[in-house]
Amino acid sequence: MSLQRNRKLVRDTALFRHWEGLAASAFDPIPLPQLKAAQAALQGHIVLPGDPDYNADRQLFNPVFNAYPVAIVYCAVESDVAIALKLAQDVLLPFTVRSGGHCTAGFSAGYGVLIDVSALDEATIDAVAQVATVGTGCPFSKLDLALDQAGLHVPGGECQDVCIGGYLQGGGYGFTSVTFGMNCDNVIDMRVMLADGRVVTASPTANTDLWWAMRGGTGGNFGVLLSVRYQLRPLGDVFGWALIWPLQSTGDFDNATGALMALQSGYMLANLPQALNIQVSLCYQPGTQPGLPLEPQQPYLMVRGLYVGSQADGQAAIQPLCNLPGAIVQWTAMDSYYNLNKALLDQPYGMPCLPPDSPMPCEDKASRYVTRPLAAAEWLGLLQYFVTAPNELTYFYMEFYGGAINAVQPQANAFVHRNSAFNAVLDVFWFDDAHKQASQDFLLGWMDLMAPMWNGEIYQNYPRPDQPGYGAAYWADAQAGLYAVKLKYDPTHAFRFAQEVGPVMSPGGGIGPVIELPAWLQQWLQQPIVYDARWTAQQLQPYQ
């Protein structure tokens, strides 16, 4: 008997003894015999309420969400996912899949069975073929480092703790997306486990409707993403830069408004060079130079980004911004994407600016896509509203679109926001519940202010739990097609959550309009599901 097998037996035996000592009520949701059978088949492990690690393990990235699942199943290998799915469905419990736990609406956990796939985090780089094979639980801290060492790149998330599973399925914007497209635009194929435990590969040649849907159709709707293959590209050092404008005096507001108007006229949509990636922020900072005490803080307009090209060309591209009244150049650097991706958020201070040992504050946020030019008065109104924020943790930013993002044809995948100038986002934070209402009221006021400016669409990776009409906001004209794909691949409606893909409804409720799906999608839907030949029923026998 192998040492690995001995360790598993010792672990399972100790876990069973622990469970047998719990009150009988602990097994009301899932009977003890079924828990034992599942654990015996798992390479991972199950955590129950009352276990020493339960309170830590149930937590999501954002402490505002406080779900209490009846069981947490940690999947160590892909077959564990099938066991977890079967367990949840056998006992008629809902289930949630968690890779990184960063969903802004808290959909990464809930009552029922929490299937944690964070251990499926492999990242294999084929430098010759320029292809990465990445597990759904792989965080960008791991993937970006592997890519950096190989001199290769795929657009990735700014937050290093985010895992690719949910990020990819919501589109995936990053600091090189204007140059190389959304993360989902760089997918070669993906392996997906359906509710019955069978695995399919979704690609341009097999299960093409699922390949279309899962690149933008949002996680948790169709199946469990197991792994993805990305097309990579060589990427050496790139040019990063950071400009800042104070927001204290009337003259400062005039300068900042002028800077936003200059950005709009010279750096949006068709006027944004594909090599140039821009993020504009409003945030509170201790000052413009490094090394200052973290308090007091003042509001600033910040413009930062990456230029995929030489330092000389990058400097030339941003020089008109550097020459604007009130502009302060904080830093420029020629460095790897891996280093600059962190510097753009943290140098000289973080956004929001917190001590290094600070716990994660509670967070709420909202997203609004904008497609039209804004008047100077509208830009000024956004600046003036921001400086009335209830605390210094408040953070507004605009992710500029254009270039490779907007060049993608609508039928390429289910990420539909291809005509946007920018995605505007407001983040509010608080530590004390006494400050929660003021922060959320400020966010609602910002949403009212944005109402005349936005196009009705929202980045689906920034969902809100109470978002009305979320289907049209996240998926626009793709919603009906996504629902058709869901009916095909999840016919028993096993994958469900508060903002799942559903039929298009009429504004007043009831049966919605009759929608004829595009011919190309109808053709894909008529094709039979192609199951992965490497995944057979025999692999599920230990728990069947």
Q: How far apart are CA 340 and CA 332, in angstroms?
A: 10
Question: Can you give the pLDDT at residue 536?
Answer: 52
Tell whether 456 is covered by a domain: no
Asked whether residue 226 falls in the same domain as residue 258, the answer is no
Do 275 and 320 touch, CB atoms closer than 8 A? no
465 located within any domain: no
User: Domain check: are 257 and 209 in the same one?
Assistant: no
Among 60, 87, 116, give the residue marking a domain's end. Answer: 116
Q: Give one DSSP letter per residue of 357-419, joined into a string.
A: TPPPPEEEEEEEEE-SPPPHHHHHHHHHHHTT-SSTT-EEEEEE--HHHHTS-GGGSS----S
CB 502 within 8 A of CB 490: no
pLDDT confidence tier of residue 57, bands split at 50, 70 and 90: confident
pLDDT tens string 149-174: 999 999 998 888 899 999 999 999 99
Judge if 419 and 271 occupy the same domain. Answer: yes
321-342 average pLDDT score: 97
Encoded tokens for 112: 């029922």
Neighbours of 239 (CB within 10 A): 24
Tell whether 191 and 255 lie within a shared domain.
Answer: no
Average pLDDT over residues 483-493: 97
Dihedrals phi, psi of 213, to nearest 5 degrees: -70, -40
220/92 same-domain check: no
Q: Which residues contact 390 (CB under 8 A, 6 or more apart)?
A: 428, 435, 438, 439, 441, 442
pLDDT score recorded for residue 3: 53
* Integer Cα distance of 118 and 521 in angstroms: 32
Residues 443 and 478 in one domain: no
pLDDT at residue 425 in the model: 98
pTM for the model stands at 0.94
At CA 147, angle to CA 141 and CA 150, rounded to 5? Answer: 145
Q: What is the pLDDT of residue 467?
A: 93
Q: Tokens 């973080």 belong to which residue? A: 350
- Using the 3D structure, point to which of 70, 100, 116 is the last residue of a domain: 116
For the four alpha carbons of 107, 112, 116 and 117, in that order, the dihedral sign comes to negative
Task: Please report the DSSP string for 490-515 in residue order.
Answer: -TT--S--TT-----B-TTSSB----
For residue 317, pLDDT beyond 60: yes
Mean pLDDT for the chain? 93
Q: What is the CATH number of the domain that holds 103?
A: 3.30.43.10
The reply to whether 460 falls in a domain is: no
Chain-centroid distance, C-alpha 524: 27
Together in a domain, 495 and 482 = yes
Cα–Cα distance for residue pair 430/445, rounded to 1 Å: 17
For residue range 236-288, list pLDDT tens digits in order: 999 999 999 999 999 999 999 999 999 999 999 999 999 999 999 999 999 99
SS (H, E, C) 115-133: EECCCCCCEEEECCCCEEE
Top pLDDT among 104 and 74 is at 74
**Residue 397 exposure: Cα atoms within 13 Å on the Cβ side:** 24
Choosing from 450, 480, 509, the residue where a domain stops is 450
Query: Does some domain include residue 464?
Result: no
Q: Which of 456, 446, 455 is nearest to 382 (CA)?
A: 446
Q: With contact defined as beta carbons under 8 Å apart, do 398 and 424 qualify?
A: yes
Is there a single domain that holds both residue 242 and residue 182? no
Asked if residue 124 belongs to a domain, the reply is: yes
Question: What is the DSSP secondary structure assignment for residue 325, as one 8-state letter?
Answer: T
**Is pLDDT at 478 greater than 70 in this prediction?**
yes
User: What percent of the chain is modeled with pLDDT above 70?
Assistant: 95
> Residues 386-443: pLDDT tens digits?
999 999 999 999 999 999 999 998 789 999 999 999 999 999 999 999 999 999 999 9
Residue 455 lies in a domain: no
Domain count, the chain: 3
| Same domain as 111, residue 64 | yes
User: Does 413 fall in a domain?
Assistant: yes
Residue type, 461: N
Instruction: Determine the Cα–Cα distance for residues 204 and 450; give it in Å rounded to an integer.
Output: 38
Are 228 and 248 part of one and the same domain?
no
CATH number at residue 499: 3.30.465.10
**170-217 pLDDT tens trace:** 999 999 999 999 999 999 999 999 999 999 999 999 999 999 999 999
* Local confidence band at 544 (pLDDT 50, 70, 90 cut-offs): very low
Strand partners, 229: 133, 189
Tell whether 221 and 245 lie within a shared domain.
no
Instruction: Give the integer Cα–Cα distance in Å for 257 and 379.
Output: 6
Cα–Cα distance, 192 to 264 (Å, whole number): 41
Tell whether 364 and 251 lie within a shared domain: yes
Whether the predicted pLDDT of 2 surpasses 70? no
CATH number at residue 345: 3.40.462.20
Is 134:90 a contact under the CB 8 Å cutoff?
Answer: no
Is position 212 within any domain?
yes
- Please state, in angstroms and as integers, the Cα–Cα distance from residue 275 to each residue in 175, 267, 406, following that order: 11, 11, 14
What CA–CA distances, in Å, run from 263 to 257, 299, 302, 322, 516? 10, 19, 12, 11, 40
Structural domain range at position 94: 3-116
